[in-house]
C-alpha cells in the first residue's frame, strides 16, 4: 500500500488486513511516500518523526 501514513491509523491497518485476506496474500507492505500530490509539504511530519511512528 502506498500513502503518506502520517500517522498510520486503524483505517490503514483495517484496509491492509481486508486486502490481505481477500487476495490471500502472505503480507501487505506499507510504502510511505515523501510528498503526495494532494498534500502540501508543510502538512507532512518530519521524515525522522514519521519513521519513528
pLDDT tens, 16-48? 999 999 999 999 998 877 766 666 666 677 778
pLDDT at 14: 93
Q: How would DSSP label each residue in 3-52? A: E--TT--HHHHHHHHHHHHHTT-S----EE-S--TTS-GGGSPPHHHHHH
pLDDT at 38: 64
pLDDT at 18: 96
Question: How far is 34 from 46, CA to CA, in rounded Å?
Answer: 10
Number of domains forming the structure of the chain: 1
The angle at the Cα of 1, spanning 17 to 53, to the nearest 5 degrees, equals 85
Show the domain range for 10: 2-36+44-52
pLDDT at 27: 94
Q: What is the mean pLDDT of residues 3-25?
A: 88
pLDDT at 51: 76
pLDDT at 20: 97
Amino acid at each position: 500500500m502506498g500513502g503518506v501514513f502520517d500517522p498510520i491509523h486503524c483505517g490503514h491497518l483495517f484496509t491492509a488486513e481486508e486486502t490481505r485476506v481477500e487476495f490471500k496474500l502472505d503480507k501487505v507492505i506499507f510504502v510511505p511516500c515523501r510528498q503526495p500530490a494532494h498534500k502540501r509539504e508543510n502538512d507532512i511530519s518530519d521524515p525522522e518523526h514519521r519513521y519513528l511512528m
